[in-house]
Amino acid sequence: MANCIIAQSGGPTSVINSSVVGLLQANKDIKAFNKVYAGLNGIEGILNENIIDLSSFSDSEINTFRYTPSSGLGSCRYKMKNIEESTEEYDKLLDILKSKDIKAFFYVGGNDSMDTISKLGKYAKQMNIDINFIGIPKTIDNDLMYTDHTPGFGSAAKFIATTALETYLDSSVYINNGIFILETMGRDTGWLAASACTARINNKPIADFIYLPEVAFDIDNFLLDVRKKFEENNKVFIVVSEGLRNSNGEFITEVNSHAHDKFGHAQLGGVGAYLKNLIITSGITNRVKSLELGVLQRCAIHCASDIDLKEAFDVGYSALKFALEGHSGYMVSIKRESSSPYIISHTLIEASKIANKVKYFPKELINEKGNHIKEEALEYFLPLISGIPSLVIENNLPKFKTIEKVDVDVSTN
Catalytic site residues?
141
106: left (phi over 0), alpha (psi -120 to 50) or beta: beta
Give the separation between CA 380 and CA 377, rounded to whole angstroms.
5
Extract long-range pairs of 257-260: CB within 8 Å, 24+ residues apart. none
Residue type, 223: L
The conformational region for residue 178 under phi > 0 = left, psi -120 to 50 = alpha, else beta, is beta
How many other C-beta atoms can be found within 10 angstroms of the C-beta atom of residue 280? 14
**What's the chain's length in residues?**
413
Whether 12 and 75 have beta carbons less than 8 Å apart is answered as yes
Note whether 90 and 81 are within 8 A (CB).
Answer: no
Q: What angle do CA 313, 317, 320 make, to 5 degrees?
A: 145
User: Distance between CA 88 and CA 406 in Å, rounded?
Assistant: 29
Amino acid at 384: L
Angle at 364 between CA 188 and CA 202, to 5 degrees: 95
Q: Distance between the two ends of the chain, CA-based, in angstroms?
A: 11
Furthest CA-CA distance within the chain: 72
Give dist(CA 280, CA 240) in Å, integer.
Answer: 17
CA distance 10 to 298: 12
Q: How far apart are CA 58 and CA 36, in angstroms?
A: 13
Per the CB < 8 A criterion, the answer to whether 349 and 333 are in contact is yes
